[in-house]
């Protein structure tokens, strides 16, 4: 049973990481110092454990050090959305997309926020942007498609 929980935990953690750091996101682990990498890894681990408040503390630290870090803003939005703090989530997604307009993870998660707040046209607009960014498909587009299918 412990092995099963560990595997599930790793899978969830990887899923959060995948959506959080979609290519060209503004977070380059090679050029940022070890402290920021440590905080990002810790935040992703906490998200994998559904510890959103603790993840927010780590992500805020990253943002204080690297204000234009689109990955950190995206995961901050995700954490706040999971806590039902939709205004804070919305602001964080806007920041992520300001610093990287093609951040696939932020487009997906913002689209999910739009669905949760019954702004379906905006969610569909995010889906269209993802379709342009992923002409042969991508995980973020697939995930948003599944979320959109749940409202139909």
Tokens of 28: 């380059």
Q: CATH code at 97? A: 1.25.40.10
Question: Average pLDDT, stretch 52-73?
Answer: 97
Residue 128: is its pLDDT beyond 50? yes
Count how many domains the chain has: 1
Dihedral sign for Cα 148, 150, 151, 152, please.
positive
152 has a pLDDT exceeding 70: no
Average pLDDT, the chain: 85
How many C-beta atoms surround the C-beta of residue 116 within 10 A? 14
Q: In this structure, how many other beta carbons lie within 10 angstroms of the beta carbon of residue 150?
A: 8
50 φψ region: left (φ > 0), alpha (ψ -120 to 50), beta (else)? left
**pLDDT recorded at residue 32:** 54
Model pTM score: 0.80
Specify whether the CB–CB gap between 81 and 90 falls below 8 A.
no
For residue 70, what pLDDT is reported?
98
Task: Give the model confidence (pLDDT) of 31-62 as tens digits.
Answer: 457 888 999 999 999 999 999 999 999 999 99
What residues contact 45, with CB distance under 8 A and at least 6 apart? 13
What does the pLDDT read at residue 21? 52
Q: Select from 109, 31, 123, 110 the least CA-distant residue to 69.
A: 31
Domain range spanning residue 65? Answer: 2-149
Q: Examine the pLDDT at 106 and tell me if it is beyond 70.
A: yes
């Amino acid at each position: 049973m412990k092995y099963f929980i560990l595997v599930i935990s790793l899978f969830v953690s990887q899923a959060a990481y995948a959506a959080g750091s979609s290519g060209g996101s503004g977070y380059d682990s090679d050029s940022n110092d070890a402290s920021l990498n440590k905080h990002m890894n810790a935040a992703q681990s906490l998200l994998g454990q559904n510890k959103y408040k603790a993840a927010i503390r780590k992500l805020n630290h990253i943002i204080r050090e690297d204000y234009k870090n689109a990955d950190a803003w995206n995961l901050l939005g995700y954490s706040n959305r999971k806590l039902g703090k939709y205004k804070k989530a919305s602001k964080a997604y806007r920041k992520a997309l300001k610093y990287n307009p093609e951040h696939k993870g932020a487009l997906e998660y913002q689209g999910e926020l739009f669905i949760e707040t019954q702004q379906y046209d905006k969610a569909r607009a995010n889906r269209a942007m993802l379709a342009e960014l992923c002409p042969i498909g991508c995980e973020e587009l697939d995930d948003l498609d599944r979320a959109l299918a749940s409202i139909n």
